[in-house]
Amino acid sequence: MPTLTVQLGTRSYSIHIGAGLLARAELLEGQLQKDAVCIITDDNVAPLYLHKLSQALAAFAPRSLVLPHGEPHKNWRTLDFIFRFLLKNSFGRDATLIALGGGVVGDLTGFAAACYQRGISHIQIPTTLLAQVDSSVGGKTAINHRHGKNMIGAFHQPLAVIADTATLTTLPPREVSAGLAEIIKCGLISDEDFFLWLETHVQELLALDPETCVHAITRACEIKVAIVSEDEREQGRRALLNLGHTFGHAIESALGYGEWLHGEAVAAGIAMAADMAVRMDWLKAAEYRRICRLLERAGLPCKPPASLTPMRILEHMRRDKKVRSGRLRLVLPKGIGQAVVSDDFDVKMLGDTLAGRPV
Amino acid sequence: MPTLTVQLGTRSYSIHIGAGLLARAELLEGQLQKDAVCIITDDNVAPLYLHKLSQALAAFAPRSLVLPHGEPHKNWRTLDFIFRFLLKNSFGRDATLIALGGGVVGDLTGFAAACYQRGISHIQIPTTLLAQVDSSVGGKTAINHRHGKNMIGAFHQPLAVIADTATLTTLPPREVSAGLAEIIKCGLISDEDFFLWLETHVQELLALDPETCVHAITRACEIKVAIVSEDEREQGRRALLNLGHTFGHAIESALGYGEWLHGEAVAAGIAMAADMAVRMDWLKAAEYRRICRLLERAGLPCKPPASLTPMRILEHMRRDKKVRSGRLRLVLPKGIGQAVVSDDFDVKMLGDTLAGRPV
């Protein structure tokens, strides 16, 4: 079982990756207190794994709370539902929340832990591929605001992350593809060899071959962990992890959250960032085609939805958290295996990318 | 002009105390960026000081947002009103919020800064005595939940605190008294000489004598700063600053926020904690009377409101953030000038205090 460590001084923690870890309560040894554990999950995941996890943690007499599933619920209303439950059940500052589910459950639970009584502990048990390789790692938590995705949130590191790859077998294929988008992104921004490996293993990943999955998740987490350990609060290099996300968030927010999966929007965003990079002469046209081909083979889109006009996407991009002094900043690939943050591009160029004009 | 420093490593900051500081923009030199400043205030304070502050900061072209005043508005609704304003006006991660007002404005603004885009900077310019000696210092921010006061919040240190004592002249006398409650608390928990000084200067303080006020605010801040620098996130000693607050919060929350001022509820709470301490043999009856007498001379209550039954107060006390493994913990004075956190008391004793039975 691979175990990675996120090095953040007193807030360092482990990421355990492997099949069947959900039932391995000993991984959380010493991190929980009896009568002070609350498992938070959603109505998709609860019927599948809540009983198993509750059983494994029976010694701590955990309570559990089931949220409605999906991105449209990643908002204040659901957060308040969590707060109400915690207060009514007299959870104190010694409580630990356990997020059992995908990115939405993880983000909501993490942000609830960040704010409840000014901060309590939490543990991430991600059950989707996207959450295992991305959202559960690194301490970013948030809710959406109707004026922008992930606009309200906190950096709040978990006590531990447990990625049980056996939970991926119950994922709809569309969600597997969505997770692959973030894995492909990791290769693209910092590891050409991994990108190449993905090109030769994408079929096994879609088929959820256990060993191939563990390798891909581990490598993606390693890449993310290396960056986060260096720049926890995104003052610099961490922004690279947002490749495809400025376009992607704009697509999600313009379409209405939940219409496209986050990973699907990111995939289109990666392709658009690559298209921009070709216009900037940072990427060869052949590399752009390789990127699109890998995304397509992973079952992902390479273009924004036809229903969105370029203006509409741009309007939502302007609300990105990377905007500084009113200037939009984009993460763009420089070849395969490297990326940069840049605000040094022509607006016309961006317009051409958004409109899908040929390079 | 006294300037104190809160020593918190990279998050250290200055507290400036003196008359007329509101117009001294140079105190914020190097901390603000043009077009990235938002002053947040309320409809009580705006007509008095917003223009003056905006003028002083004119070089940064600040925007401003006026909130409805009062504790009942320290909730998610008002917080969301701030988020909406910031998003609609495209404030980015480089923005700084300036809280101009009392504790409610300070807590709301600080928490908004903690969560907006996962954390931006803020500056506290407290205009009430209570905010100058207590809520603006130390980085505690929060909103209330209908199930408990300050239950949702964050530790988020400001870039600077500017306490302009000239703003106290426009305070209603009841608010001056409320501020004195926290000042008296500071003497009681850690400085007998200061407590004595307060006994001889309470009249000048009520009359807002400028020099006396600067001394009292400076000393109270020094006491708080020393404790916060040692224990920012209230793992231990910082809890002492909550003397009177477990009782006080329960009173506020049982009465409905805004009925009693926070300082008034804390005053009754201090008297109740002192009453408990007499029952524990930690305080002499004569010391208890001295404490009550000072509170009364400061225009403050020494008993909870007659409308609240002991059971009702106890019910609200159980939701206190200091509860651990279901046990209530109270801050109690040990003589004058010292205090301890204890869960080692008889429930009957607490019942007697709540019921106002003679010791």
Q: What is the DSSP letter of B134?
A: I
Strand, coil or helix: B55: helix
Chain A, nearest residue to B90 by Cα: A319
With cut-offs at 50, 70 and 90, classify the pLDDT of residue B127.
very high
Distances (CA, A) of B79 to A86, B83, B282, B283: 21, 6, 42, 42
| A63 is an active site residue | no
A147 contact residues in B (CB cutoff 8 A): 83-84, 87-88
Instruction: Give yes or no for A327 touching B (CB within 8 A).
Output: no
Q: Which amino acid is at A233?
A: R
Cβ-defined contact of B326 to A114 (cutoff 8 Å): no
Given the residues A88, A118, A146, A348, the one annotated as active site: A118
Distances (CA, A) of B118 to A182, B8, B242: 21, 20, 28
Residue with token string 């496209």: A260
Tokens of B59: 């070089």
B88 contact residues in A (CB cutoff 8 A): 147
Q: Is the pLDDT of residue A41 over 80?
A: yes
**Rounded CA separation B82/B77 (Å):** 9
Name all contacts of B351-354 with Cβ < 8 Å and 24+ positions apart: B351/B310, B351/B314, B352/B279, B353/B272, B353/B275, B353/B276, B353/B279, B354/B272, B354/B304, B354/B310, B354/B313, B354/B314
The answer to whether residues A246 and A330 touch, using CB atoms and an 8 Å cutoff, is yes
Closest CA to A180 of A220, A226, A141: A220
Strand, coil or helix: B288: helix
Cβ-defined contact of A90 to B119 (cutoff 8 Å): no
Mutation target to probe the B interface, by most B beta carbons within 10 A, among A107, A116, A117 is A117
For chain B, helix, strand, coil in percent to 5 are 50, 20, 30
Contacts of B188 (CB under 8 A, 6+ apart): B195, B243, B270, B291, B333, B336, B337, B339
| A238 is an active site residue | yes
Nearest CB partner across the interface for A155, out of B119, B322, B324:
B119
Report the first-to-last Cα separation within chain A, whole angstroms. 46
The answer to whether residues B145 and B152 touch, using CB atoms and an 8 Å cutoff, is yes
Chain B, nearest residue to A232 by Cα: B118
Chain A, nearest residue to B232 by Cα: A118
Cβ-defined contact of A323 to B35 (cutoff 8 Å): no
CATH of B174-355, one of 3.10.25.10, 3.30.365.10, 1.10.606.20, 1.20.1090.10: 1.20.1090.10
| A224 is an active site residue | yes
The pLDDT of residue B237 is: 92
Strand, coil or helix: B143: strand
Q: Just list the catalytic residues of B.
A: 118, 140, 182, 224, 234, 238, 242, 245, 249, 262
Looking at residues B146-161, what average pLDDT do you find? 93
Helix axes B285-297, B262-279, angle to 10 degrees: 170
Looking at residues A324-343, what average pLDDT do you find? 91
Mutation target to probe the B interface, by most B beta carbons within 10 A, among A115, A149, A233 is A115
Q: Is the pLDDT of residue A320 over 90?
A: no
Name all contacts of A74-77 with Cβ < 8 Å and 24+ positions apart: A74/A104, A74/A107, A74/A108, A74/A142, A74/A143, A74/A144, A74/A257, A75/A143, A75/A144, A75/A145, A76/A143, A76/A152, A76/B76, A76/B80
Instruction: Please state, for a pLDDT cut of 90, what percent of chain B lies above it.
Output: 89
Torsion-angle region of residue B63: left (phi > 0), alpha (psi -120 to 50) or beta? beta
pLDDT tens per residue across span A216-239: 999 999 999 999 999 999 889 999
pLDDT tens per residue across span A236-283: 999 999 999 999 999 998 998 778 999 999 999 999 999 999 999 999
Cβ-defined contact of A325 to B33 (cutoff 8 Å): yes
Instruction: Please state, for a pLDDT cut of 90, what percent of chain A lies above it.
Output: 89
**Rounded CA separation B95/B116 (Å):** 10
Chain A, nearest residue to B320 by Cα: A92
Instruction: Give yes or no for B81 touching A (CB within 8 A).
Output: no
**Rounded CA separation B96/B57 (Å):** 12
Residue with token string 């930690």: B282
**Rounded CA separation B18/B163 (Å):** 7
Q: How far B36 CA sits from the closest chain A CA (Å)? A: 8
The answer to whether residues A149 and A257 touch, using CB atoms and an 8 Å cutoff, is yes
Instruction: Give yes or no for B151 touching A (CB within 8 A).
Output: yes
**Burial code of B26-48, b = ≥16 C-beta within 10 A, e = fewer?**
ebbeeebeebbbbbbbbebbbee
Cβ-defined contact of A88 to B147 (cutoff 8 Å): yes
The pLDDT of residue A258 is: 77
Quick count: other Cβ atoms within 10 Å of Cβ A71?
Answer: 20
Q: Which amino acid is at B193?
A: D
The pLDDT of residue B114 is: 98
Quick count: other Cβ atoms within 10 Å of Cβ A255?
Answer: 18
The pLDDT of residue B240 is: 96
B94 contact residues in A (CB cutoff 8 A): 324-325
Given the residues A16, A122, A149, A249, the one annotated as active site: A249
**Burial code of B56-82, b = ≥16 C-beta within 10 A, e = fewer?**
bbeebebbbbbbebebebbbbebbebb
Which residues are A64's β-sheet partners?
A39
The pLDDT of residue A202 is: 98
**Rounded CA separation A301/A269 (Å):** 9
Mutation target to probe the B interface, by most B beta carbons within 10 A, among A118, A145, A242 is A118
Looking at residues A300-310, what average pLDDT do you find? 96
Quick count: other Cβ atoms within 10 Å of Cβ A350?
Answer: 20
State phi, psi for B306 to the nearest 5 degrees: -60, -25
Quick count: other Cβ atoms within 10 Å of Cβ A25?
Answer: 16
Cβ-defined contact of A87 to B148 (cutoff 8 Å): yes
Vertex A90: Cα angle to B141 and A160 (nearest 5) = 70
The pLDDT of residue B1 is: 84
Contacts of A60 (CB under 8 A, 6+ apart): A32, A33, A34, A35, A36, A37
Q: How would CATH label the architecture of A173-355?
A: Up-down Bundle (1.20)
- C-alpha A120: how far from its chain's center? 22
Closest CA to B95 of B71, B68, B116, B78: B116
Instruction: Give yes or no for B76 touching A (CB within 8 A).
Output: yes
Q: In the sheet that B37-42 helps form, which strands lie side by side, from edge to edge?
A: B3-6, B13-18, B160-164, B121-126, B96-101, B37-42, B63-67
Cβ-defined contact of A154 to B87 (cutoff 8 Å): no
With cut-offs at 50, 70 and 90, classify the pLDDT of residue A110.
very high
State phi, psi for A192 to the nearest 5 degrees: -60, -40
Q: How far A169 CA sits from the closest chain B CA (Å)? A: 33
Across chain A, mean pLDDT equals: 95
Vertex B325: Cα angle to B144 and B244 (nearest 5) = 50
The answer to whether residues A316 and A145 touch, using CB atoms and an 8 Å cutoff, is no
With cut-offs at 50, 70 and 90, classify the pLDDT of residue A321.
confident
Instruction: Name the residue ranges covered by the structural domains of chain B.
Output: 3-170, 174-355
Q: Which amino acid is at A263?
A: G
CATH code of the domain made up of A3-170: 3.40.50.1970
Closest CA to A87 of B250, B318, B80, B247: B318
Q: Is the pLDDT of residue B110 over 90?
A: yes
pLDDT tens per residue across span A134-160: 999 999 999 999 888 899 999 999 999
Which residues are A100's β-sheet partners?
A125
Interface contacts (A, B; CB < 8 Å): 111
pLDDT tens per residue across span B300-349: 999 999 999 999 999 999 887 777 777 889 999 999 999 999 998 988 99
With cut-offs at 50, 70 and 90, classify the pLDDT of residue A45.
very high
Q: Is the pLDDT of residue A24 over 90?
A: yes
**Burial code of A194-209, b = ≥16 C-beta within 10 A, e = fewer?**
bbebbeeebeebbebe
The pLDDT of residue B107 is: 98
Tokens of B24: 């001294």
Instruction: Give yes or no for A94 touching B (CB within 8 A).
Output: yes
Q: What is the DSSP letter of A68?
A: P
Q: Please state the pTM of the whole predicted model.
A: 0.93
Q: Is the pLDDT of residue B258 over 80?
A: no
Q: Is the pLDDT of residue B220 over 80?
A: yes
Cβ-defined contact of A115 to B152 (cutoff 8 Å): yes
Q: How far B237 CA sits from the closest chain A CA (Å)? A: 16
Quick count: other Cβ atoms within 10 Å of Cβ A351?
Answer: 13
Mutation target to probe the A interface, by most A beta carbons within 10 A, among B152, B228, B232, B241 is B152
Tokens of A294: 């890998």
Q: Is the pLDDT of residue A31 over 90?
A: yes
**Rounded CA separation B335/B285 (Å):** 10
Instruction: Give yes or no for B75 touching A (CB within 8 A).
Output: no
Looking at residues B264-281, what average pLDDT do you find? 97
Vertex B90: Cα angle to A237 and A273 (nearest 5) = 45
With cut-offs at 50, 70 and 90, classify the pLDDT of residue B22.
very high
The answer to whether residues B273 and B330 touch, using CB atoms and an 8 Å cutoff, is yes
